[in-house]
Amino acid sequence: MAKKKTNKSKSKPASSGGALVKQRPVGRPTVSRAALEHVCGLNDPFCPAAKLSKVPDNAGINSLNYPLHTRSALASSAAGDGAYIMLPTYTYSNKKAGDTAAGLANVAFDSATVNDLGLAPRLSGVAGYRINTWGFVLRNIVAPLSSSGMVHIRGFNEKDLSNLSGVTQTDTVGYNCDFSADIPLQDLKEVAVLGSRTGPDSVIFHAPEFLTNYGVEDWVSQGWGYITVSFSGVPASQDVIDIEFFVNYEVTFNSQESTALLMTPPPRSTPLIKEAADIVASEARSVFKDGIASVSNFMLRRAALALGSLVSARTGGMAGGALRAITVD
């Protein structure tokens, strides 16, 4: 006896007209790729979206995205150690070596002891800037059989270094800090380190800084903390670590500057995106020992969960109040 054929109609997702989150018939929201990338771009300095991401605030200020991507090496001393401070700035170099003569627990970074920060080539005519994201990647460049020693990463939330003891006696191996990681040099395959915000100043446009004598001791945070990287027991007097630096600036120009024509309007103020980005920032860690790919995976997962839970809360819950899955377009 022949079986009857039944026509099963497939339900199609309702059109959202470009909405951030679409509703599927089964009750599972679909988070748009654009929304995910915007949230990730405001937290992950290494993702391509970070180069073009702007803070979705309601300031209404035209600006220009200015991604900075540099590479250099961290060298050891004759004693087989070294220490560097990473400072998020606009006008000056973001990296400076310290004097380790008194040990890694008493490193001097002040301009009276070691060289100053030095001016860095940047876009001219900038009236204001803010750093949307920044971070760096560390890679061991010593031959495998010679890769001895430890690398110490420390993050600090001080807003200024005007107290000289803070730069003449910096403890780069202690644990009185915001975050820390101690990694054998031989395991430093690709370690990603993310800068962390210290407050709401990070979303304000600041005038490019001027430091007396270009000294670290005159540095004042623009809403971001600083990070130290030190190492001990490594091969002496040679480059030991490759550092790849990423800083994603958003800059403004005075109207008389010809470069002002390059500025574009800000994104539409989107509380959902801003709130999701804040949630991801509060949950993100600062050191990823498995490299850039692990940062991207972490940020995408957290962004999807944050967006989904926020939409669920705004709509009174989906599928009986339980948000069980989020599908990315």
Same domain? 139 vs 172: yes
Same domain? 204 vs 298: no
Q: What is the pLDDT of residue 17?
A: 41
Q: What is the pLDDT of residue 178?
A: 94
| DSSP category for residue 45 | T
Residue 115: how many CB atoms within 10 A of its CB? 10
Return the CATH number at 180: 2.60.120.20
Same domain? 54 vs 31: yes
Residue 73: how many CB atoms within 10 A of its CB? 12
Domain that includes residue 322, residue range: 26-60+267-329
Q: Among 224, 243, 265, identify where a domain stops.
A: 265
Q: Among 237, 265, 293, identify where a domain stops.
A: 265
Same domain? 134 vs 48: no
Q: What is the pLDDT of residue 327?
A: 43
Identify the three-state secondary structure at position 158: coil
Average pLDDT of adjacent 10-residue blocks, the chain of 329 residues: 52 46 52 87 95 87 95 96 92 90 92 69 90 97 97 90 68 95 98 93 88 73 93 98 97 92 90 91 94 95 91 66 41
Q: What is the pLDDT of residue 200?
A: 86
| Contact assessment for residue 100 and residue 165, using Cβ atoms and an 8 Å cutoff | no
C-alpha–C-alpha distance, residues 205 and 208, integer Å: 9
Q: What is the pLDDT of residue 114?
A: 62
Q: What is the pLDDT of residue 82?
A: 97
Same domain? 140 vs 256: yes
Same domain? 298 vs 315: yes
Same domain? 147 vs 118: yes
Q: What is the pLDDT of residue 221?
A: 84
Q: What is the pLDDT of residue 116?
A: 64
